[in-house]
Structure 1
Amino acid sequence: MARTVALARWWWTFIVRGVLAILFGVLAFFAPGLGAAVLVGLFAAWVIIDGIGNIIAGVRGRGRDRAWWLEILEGVVGLAAGLIALIFPVYAAGVLVLLIAIWAIVTGVLEVIAAIRLRELISGEVWMGLAGVASILFGVILIAFPAAGALSLVWLISSFAIVFGIFLILLGSRLRGIHELARRGAAPWISPHGGNNQVQAVSE
């Protein structure tokens, strides 16, 4: 129970990540004519901020969140991808599709693993799992169709970012509900075997 409450305390990090993902998706969707360099910059800013948020959440959750190291690893991967895009923008523009595909697949795998490890703690882990699956599928599609038209790729990337962001916001909202119950002195007990949630007192 304590681990559930500890994880729920950081509900806002998932919502911030979701909002940033949606913001990136919307900007990329409505501004495809700005060129690859701008898209690289937007992508870099998104994954760097997202990566830093993941690292901070992982460090603060160390010892209380069984998936803390996965959050740090995911953050490092995102931070590395973003820095590569910023430091080598010319090269990144040429391999942008591959860079995003690799980042999406690695991130997706880590999200799915984290969801599996957290399934006994929270019922909202399904949103994390779905975000991971969507990320993996997106990366596979990019690798399978690298020669698709530039406009199609921009729309695909935008759509993924928006869907990914929605899943993260839904997960954050679920965790926020658990956190609010804990602040009032009770929190939902999540059965690892499913079933209805119950409410039990949480000692201060």
Structure 2
Amino acid sequence: MTAGTPLPTSDPGLDRLGAMSAVLARNWWLIALRGAASILFGIIALVSPFATLLTLVIFFSAYMLVDGIAGIVAAVRAAQRHERWGLLLAEGLLDIAVGVLAFIWPGSTLLAFVYLAAAWALVTGGLMIAAAFRLHLDHGRWWLVLGGVCSVLFGIALLINPVVSLAVLTAWLAAYAIVFGILMLVLAFRLRSRNAAATGAPPAGTVRPA
């Protein structure tokens, strides 16, 4: 390098991308918790397809609260490290708000519940897709994109036929929750591997050779 040649500077966009990737990798267990809660909710919905609307709303509310708390915890941990946390917090707060509304008005009509679920799926899916492009490709970006697309498609499907019967709605909701949960579990274990590689520690459950 000749005298007077300016030193190369890091790309701020890449720095932000790395920060977001590191946050999700360190908190892979929160993503796994989110996926497990989603799969559990989907199984419950399949086992009881003719449950009353009140029971379905309570299950949905509980799932939203767990999902929202997990998102807020991830955002707080990111903020403590002075890393990007806005999208994680926004999604967590949205999930809790939807859960509280569903619990306060459990006697709402099926149509109102369909619109509430559709709005949540569309907004949450959009936030997840936006967050995915702050994640490195080798950290599982496209799994997060697929989770967001799954949410958006579910919301659109509900809006196309908002007067669908409870049984069909339950099947749709269960299928969405299980697929979404599987995608989040795949992402979580991909992030766990990346975190282990970054820290030099073996993944949990790995036995070191004697």
TM-score range (shorter-chain normalised) is: 0.7 to 0.9
SS in 1 for 2:195: helix
Paired position in structure 2 for 1:153: 169
> Does the CA-based 8 Å contact 1:92-1:99 persist in structure 2?
no
Q: Describe the shift of the 1:185–1:26 C-alpha distance in structure 2 as closer, same or farther (beyond 3 A).
A: closer
Q: Which moved more, 1:103-112 or 1:148-157?
A: 148-157
Q: CA deviation at 1:116?
A: 1.2
> Does the CA-based 8 Å contact 2:25-2:195 persist in structure 1?
yes
Q: Which amino acid aligns with 1:114?
A: A
Q: Which moved more, 1:90-99 or 1:123-132?
A: 90-99
Matched, 1:166 2:182: yes
Q: Describe the shift of the 1:140–1:128 C-alpha distance in structure 2 as closer, same or farther (beyond 3 A).
A: same
Paired position in structure 2 for 1:134: 150
Q: CA deviation at 1:125?
A: 1.1
State the distance in 2 between where 1:185 and 1:150 align.
Answer: 48
Q: Describe the shift of the 1:35–1:179 C-alpha distance in structure 2 as closer, same or farther (beyond 3 A).
A: same
Q: Which amino acid aligns with 1:129?
A: V
| Greater Cα radius of gyration, structure 1 or 2 | 2
Paired position in structure 1 for 2:12: none
State the distance in 2 between where 1:164 and 1:110 align.
Answer: 15
State the distance in 1 between where 2:71 and 2:51 align.
Answer: 29
Q: Which moved more, 1:16-25 or 1:2-11?
A: 2-11
Q: Deviations over 1:75-109 (max 9, x none)?
A: 11100000001111112655211111110001000
State the distance in 2 between where 1:42 and 1:166 align.
Answer: 19
Give me the CA root mean square deviation.
1.9
Q: Deviations over 1:103-145 (max 9, x none)?
A: 000100000000012246x430111100000100100110111
Matched, 1:23 2:24: no
State the distance in 2 between where 1:10 and 1:92 align.
Answer: 38
Q: Which amino acid aligns with 2:200?
A: R
Q: Which amino acid aligns with 1:154?
A: T
Q: CA deviation at 1:149?
A: 2.3
Paired position in structure 1 for 2:8: none
Q: Deviations over 1:48-80 (max 9, x none)?
A: 1100110110111125543x2101000111000
Q: Which amino acid aligns with 2:102?
A: A
Q: CA deviation at 1:42?
A: 0.4
Paired position in structure 1 for 2:124: 107
Q: Which amino acid aligns with 1:44?
A: S
Paired position in structure 1 for 2:10: none
State the distance in 1 between where 2:110 and 2:153 align.
Answer: 22
SS in 1 for 2:108: helix
User: What TM-score comes out, normalization by structure 2 length?
Assistant: 0.82
Matched, 1:77 2:94: yes
User: What TM-score comes out, normalization by structure 1 length?
Assistant: 0.84
